[in-house]
Structure 1
Amino acid sequence: MTLIEKINEDIKQAMKDRDQLRLDTLRMLKSKILTVDARGNLPDSEVIKLFKTYLGSLKEAMELSDSANRREAVERLKSEIEIVQEFLPKTPSPEETRKIVEQAIIDSEAKTKKDLGFVMKSIMKINNTVDGKLAKEIAEQLLSE
Structure 2
Amino acid sequence: MSLRDRLTEDLKLAMKARDQLRMDVIRMIKAAVLNKEVEVKKDLDDAEMSRIMTTMIKQRKESVEQYEKGNRVELAAKERQEISIIEAYLPRALSQDQLAEIVDSVVRETQAASLKEMGTVMKAVMAKLAGAPVDGKLVSDLVRARLQ
Same topology, TM > 0.5: yes
Off by >3 Å, runs of 4+ in structure 1: none
Report the Cα distance in structure 1 between the residues aligned to 2:21 and 2:84, rounded to whole angstroms: 11
* RCO higher in structure (CA 8 A, sep ≥6): 2
1:10 corresponds in structure 2 to 10
Distance 2:71 2:147 in 1: 36
Match runs of 1:1-145 below 5 Å = 1-37=1-37, 41-128=43-130, 129=132, 130-144=134-148
Distance change >3 Å, CA 117–CA 19, structure 1 → 2? same
In structure 2, runs of 5+ residues without a counterpart are none
TM score, norm. by length of structure 2: 0.86
RMSD: 2.0
Q: Deviations over 1:39-72 (max 9, x none)?
A: x943222212221222221122122222222211
Task: Count the aligned residue pairs.
Answer: 144
TM-superposed CA distance for 1:137, in Å, is 0.9
Task: Please report the TM-score for the alignment, with normalisation by the length of structure 1.
Answer: 0.88
Unmatched segments (≥5 aa) in structure 1: none
Secondary structure, aligned partner of 1:91: coil
Identity, in percent, stands at 34
